[in-house]
Amino acid sequence: MSYLNHSYKRVRIIDLTFSSALLLLAAMLVLAYHIRIEVAQSNRLTEHTYEVIMSVDQLNNSLLQAESSRRGYVLTGNQQEKARCLSFSQRTEDNFQELKKLTLDNGSQQGRLNRLQEYMNRKLTIFRLSMNAYDRKGFDPESQAQFTEEGSTLMGYLRNGIQDIKTHEKGLLAVRRAEEQTSLMVLTMVILSGMLISFILLSLSYYIARRETRNHILAADELESANRDISDLSNMTQLLQTCSDFEEARSILAGYGNKFFSGDSGGIYLINSSRTLMADVAVWGNMEQAPFSPDQCWALRLGQPHLSAKETDVRCQHVATKEGAHLCIPLSAHHETLGTLDLHHPKEMTAAELEKLRAKATSFAEQVALAIRSLQLREQLRELSIRDPLTGLLNRRHMEESLLREISRATRTKQPLSVLMMDVDHFKHFNDTYGHEAGDHVLKEFGHLLQNQVRESDIACRFGGEEFTLILPEADCDTASDIGNRIRSAVMDLQLVVGRQPLGRVTISGGIAVFPEDGDTIQQLLARSDEALYDAKKNGRNRIEGSCAAAAVAAKGKADK
């Protein structure tokens, strides 16, 4: 009953752990979905702000062109200049109306535009009055000077008003970018840097109009690159979530590492179970690095990314070369450090390139850490589902599956198959005398002995309580008897001590059943081996019973002694 209670508790723990893993996966999917929505919304708002700034620049350009054409007309009388002035005046009004439509959702901007409209209408009126005066009486320096003076004053107001509008839009852009940074955290650092670069280049377009197109192209490239990175991260995470073991994950990590950091060498290193050694899981590029201790990596010692890009920078001891830039990032998930992501760039990099590499590598490392931890949890769950936690041997459920598979194989290949059932002699008396802790120690040591004594093809299982089962493929009864007696002798040589108390000599008894002579089903083989085990107990224990000659000889020798 105690064993069953422990089994039920282990099942509940497995259910809880598995459910927690599913909830974590669902939370990650929901988070990824919201991040995509926020990215799309933020992109739309940012594009709208850029459109407003471009419209403001176009309005300012039209005013400047109209002013230049008016001056050319009153100085030269060239009708083409007059036509250009009228054309740019109309374009100014169109640009202004377009700007009002773009800022309908912004009351403060509408107020600024209303104030700006008064100056703009007066400015356009001066254009027409100046040209009409020229048409009536030719060039009049006094009147034209008056128009020019008033126009210059109005142009100053217009510049200030346009600058206020642009300043407000820049402020809105800064606020939206801050909100985007809060929502996306590290995953959007690349996008934010691209938007920052786009914003800086766009501000320069006020002075250099020809760079506007280039700014948009650069921004689009950055956004496209960031979207590709996010999509690739999502695909990589999905593939890693479906991996069955680390061998499958190795090729995926190496492939995506080479794709993300093209031209760079890199590797992913994990800490072993004793936390004394770092071994590579995946490498790409020219990265060739022997296993190293965690103390040799500054990133693990500091608990944060460590970058060494200059000769004066402190480099990790596991980094062999002093050329180029080297970046180490800890892989952490669920408050546990799993390993490091190491990247090496062979050439010198600017500060901006280093920051971009750090941001991109951080995003990559976060996804890799979560996927690796998930894979570790799945492997732990798989081990818990097939192994007995005390002895480390396969449990009864997996034993029955293995025996069914070996029966099918033996039937197909016409090879023998033996089942050896073993039991620790006087185990109940042993427990009553020395306590359950000593009993568990005996079972644990016997389990370790089985793992060391059997062949690679043999399958050692804990049947239940103090009973153990060996499945021996391609072993007839004599071979099974030899193996059983070798194990029996090794058990007798065990020196078992709990604390400072010696436990005395421990013996085992065993029974052999052979396929197909003793049965051709799981139930028949287990029942026959259990009967043989019962005979061994009845005949004096510390013996292996079976229908074969070797077992009979061994039993006879035991009786003669």
For the chain, what's the residue count?
561
| pLDDT tens across the length of the chain (561 residues) | 444 455 555 556 656 665 665 666 677 667 667 766 776 776 777 777 888 888 888 878 888 888 888 788 877 888 888 888 888 888 888 888 888 888 888 888 788 888 887 878 887 888 788 788 788 877 777 777 777 777 778 778 778 878 888 788 788 778 777 776 776 665 555 455 545 554 443 444 444 555 545 555 655 566 676 677 787 778 878 777 777 677 777 778 878 888 778 778 888 888 877 778 887 777 887 776 678 888 888 888 888 888 887 777 788 877 777 777 888 888 887 778 888 888 887 777 777 777 888 888 888 888 888 878 777 777 766 666 667 777 778 778 888 888 888 889 989 988 899 998 998 888 887 777 777 787 888 888 888 888 888 888 888 898 888 888 988 898 898 889 988 898 888 888 887 777 677 777 888 899 999 998 888 888 989 899 889 988 998 888 888 988 764 444 444 444 444
Q: Which of 167, 71, 59, 68 is nearest to 117 (CA)?
A: 59
For residue 312, which phi and psi values (nearest 5 degrees)?
A: -80, -10
Helix ranges (DSSP H) in 103-140: 107-137
Peptide bond into 502 cis (omega under 30): no
Q: Which of 61, 121, 113 is nearest to 91 (CA)?
A: 61
How many Cα atoms are found within 13 Å in the side-chain-facing hemisphere of 21?
A: 18
- Amino acid identity of 259? K
Beta bridge partners of 343: 266, 327
For the chain, helix, strand, coil in percent to 5 are 65, 15, 20
Structure tokens at 308: 């060494």
- The candidate with the shortest Cα–Cα distance to 177, out of 56, 54, 38, 362, is 38
pLDDT of residue 160: 83
Identify the pLDDT of residue 427. 82
Helix (H, G, I), strand (E, B) or coil at 517: coil
Q: Which strands, in side-by-side order, build the sheet including 508-515?
A: 459-464, 467-473, 417-424, 508-515, 544-545
Q: Residue 514: its pLDDT value, please? A: 92
**CA atoms of 153 and 144, how far apart (whole Å):** 14
> How far is residue 82's CA from residue 70's CA, in Å, rounded to a whole number?
6
> 446 and 528 in contact (C-beta within 8 Å)?
no
Are the C-beta atoms of residues 541 and 429 closer than 8 Å to each other?
A: no
The span from the CA of 230 to the CA of 375, in Å, is: 21
pLDDT of residue 418: 92
pTM over cut 0.85? no
CA–CA dist 324, 97 (Å, integer):
54
Check residue 20 and give its pLDDT: 64
- The four Cα atoms 142, 143, 144, 146 give a dihedral, to 10 degrees, of 90
On whether the CB atoms of residues 509 and 437 are closer than 8 A, the answer is no
Type of residue found at 544: I
Give residue 419's pLDDT. Answer: 92
What per-residue confidence (pLDDT) applies to 3? Answer: 41
| Pick from 356, 337, 335: nearest CA to 345 | 356
Burial of 69: CB neighbours in 10 Å, binned 0-12, 13-18, 19+: buried
Rounded-to-integer distance, Cα 265 and Cα 444, Å: 46
Q: What is the 3-state secondary structure (H, E, C) of 341-391?
A: EEEEECCCCCHHHHHHHHHHHHHHHHHHHHHHHHHHHHHHHHHHHHECCCC
The residues that bridge with 511 in the sheet, in sequence order, are: 421, 545
pLDDT of residue 198: 47
304 phi/psi in degrees, rounded to 5? -155, 165
Q: Which amino acid is at 24?
A: L
